Structure 1
Amino acid sequence: MKGLNLLERAFRLEELERAPWVPFVGVHGGRLIGADAESYLKDAGLLKAGIEKSIELYRPDGIPVVFDLQVEAEILGCKLVWSKENPPAVVSHPLHEGTQLSKLKLPELTDGRIPVVLEATRAVKNAHPDLAVYGLITGPFTLALHLLGTEIFMKLFEDPDYVAELMDFCTDVAIRYSEMLLDAGCDVIAVVDPMTSQIDPMSFETFVSPYVSRIFDFVRSKQRYSSFFVCGHAQQNIEVMCDCRPDNISIDENIPLDFVKEIALTKGISFGGNLKLTSVLLLGNELDSKKEAVSCLDLGGTKGFILAPGCDLPMDTPVQNLQAVTELVYSEYARQATREMEHAGSLEPMSLDGHFTPEKVVVDIITLDSASCAPCQYMVEAVKHAASDFGEQVEVIEHKIKNIDGIRMMMALGVQNVPTTCVNGKVTFISQIPPKSAIVEVIEKEMQA
């Protein structure tokens, strides 16, 4: 069975002999060929080489060529900070800094890194016509936040007409870029909109649904398939996501797979996910990876389910862990053997002795990595901005669960979702970017305690 055909059947909710496997290889592809993230994301030849190596090692049914939610933002005037290990991060917001929305123009074929992405896409599709090639675009709400910054959350209530105008423009950008990717050979357009996890279903239906539905309708008109990616604690929005009529929704480990399966299949939508990125694929071993894969495969089933990590793979994800997942995908014997194994190894929570002192308020932020995760980035920025008013009386510490100590701190604080902010050990803001006033209020309350 060819990968593209298998995925098409999964999108159509046909009963399959096995679930399709789509590793979201982002800058991990650079690691496979010895290239840093910045070089990798700026060079079509390196991208092609990284994808080729990924195909060789992981035998995917589908794969994204580029996983970078800053391509469009960079073209539209956002400044980026580049990293050797992660995709770049947006560090400026043109609309917040005075640029008029009317001055922004839709991207052209020659703008920014679009030529690099399209060249790599054509090369991969020409070399692998039976592989499902994913083209990733930044979802309109996340792009709007890149352009305006966290001010968008206030404007949802204070100036909804402006937000609607902004969302309309960002949707036009998404459709324009989607068309370029489809013309280059993409079989699936994935709308990656992580910042939608920050709003409630009513706001989603008002400020997201009408716009992303236009994108999915456009892709459908081109007789291709679409997927709607979200990460973080977005469980409240799964039903409204399905109502936007994508062919697939894809989620991360923050959302129970069985919950998504029930809603998606009821709505006639395929679903994908949700292999644990850091605690298992990055920091675990081969047995951990096999156990996680079997759990997802058994829960997802063989109707409409696509096995995938919860987001793009961390650059240093061990090759052997991903190959262990590949083995499980293709071997029923390996799946059965793994079911009979006991989970190997466990972590102890971090000791909090000496972590908190009477002299200051300690704010711990549990993130995936604010350098590569947009919701994490904006939560860290919001907290640091609010805490700066208090000087040395407040200490803000980010704990990235890309490392073992980060996971141990997450366990010690009783945190279940990322990003989450804890103030003096109390879980305070869960997967929601709080306004400055709310952060200040909590800090002041702790100072007075």
Structure 2
Amino acid sequence: MTLPEQRRILKTAIPGPRSVALQEQRTAELAGGLGVTLPVFVDHAGGGILVDVDGNHLVDLASGIAVTSVGAAHPEVARRVADQVERFTHTCFLVTEYEGFVQVAAALNRLTPGDHDKRTALFTTGAEAVENAIKIARTYTGRDAVVVLGHAYHGRTLLTMSMTAKNVPYKQGFGPFAPEIHRVPSPYPFRWPGGPAAAAEEALGQLREVITTQIGAENVAAIVVEPIQGEGGFIVPPPGYLAGVADFAREHGIVFVADEIQTGLARTGDLFACEHEGVVPDIITTAKALAGGLPLSAVTGRAEIMDAVGAGGLGGTYAGNPVACAAALAVLEVIERDGLVERARHIESIVRPRLEALQAEGSPIGEVRGRGAMLAMEFVRPGTLEPAPDLAKAVSDDCHAQGVVTLVCGTFGNVIRLLPPLVIDDDLLEDALTVLEQAVRRTYA
């Protein structure tokens, strides 16, 4: 299939009649707990465009939540997947092996931060990768406790849900939760009580105090940190914080885990977000953009840590599926060949100035933040820090009605996040930003 025309086209209201009819069927057939951001059904997609079943061309500023960084139907990814499907779709790597699994592992061992000896294990989802990172860290250290941050999001399984901070919708009614999960304050510069300049030092002090006095450093297997917090609101840690956590972990024999499931693979203008501060994690988790939309995740870490688990202790029926591995090899090649790290920086150079220009007096935008093609606006009552989730939702809904797909996130539900495909055309991106600007201005006109 050829790439859809890369411009916004509205043939019907959003959602259109066919999407409305399909939504009625969805309601009758699907569990109510499955939410939806924009109730349109997609027919085909590519580049920066989603084409719905009514023929509308929607500008994609979500990338399936940072998944389709190379576009939703990159020709090279599609070709590799088709070739692999013709050969075989599954054997289970734990039963009979295939080369693609090893090739993806080798690529991640090469690309992830640090020049130390590494090993990789492949899985299926981001939550599965985080769970296995914890299993590995606990085995290596012989310890039980896991430390995470406020505003963290690590997944929806029992362990990762326990690690996730936000209650509704992720945790409400699903307890009791996994034990030995301990939370320390997140250095959220915009909301830090002592002000942004004090956030790094004070948050590090609180982390050290909680771990040494309340948990016991000798009991902590891992500290798990998102280098930029995703669902929590695209919170960028203040300079020095990540390095300080990594140093503290190393001092006490704690495994430092960087959860790069949303931030990794060129999204933030470096291949991995922890590289912005030169931080080398002991373990790094990847997923989302790794296979361009096919389910694949990975845990990559220091060889001595990764090899602590005995044979048979890691794996899964679908872990490292051969079709997903074929897609991943294409994605990684495209990222390197087409300079998508630099492309993410270019996207930031277009987007950030236009978002910051919206922070005029009386604007509901309290802060613009993020890195690369992972940018966000936090909405507040003008002149205060009071979260304004209704305003964020209104702006996002307005964008949807005009054919621009945006996502709301944040612990307070008051952040609009932008995650465009890294291959989006400049003209298409500029058009989507104009729609967004108009929607923001309508909130305080």
Structure-1-length-normalised TM-score = 0.35
Name the structure, 1 or 2, with higher relative contact order (CA <8 Å, separation 6+).
2
Q: Which has the higher helix share?
A: 1
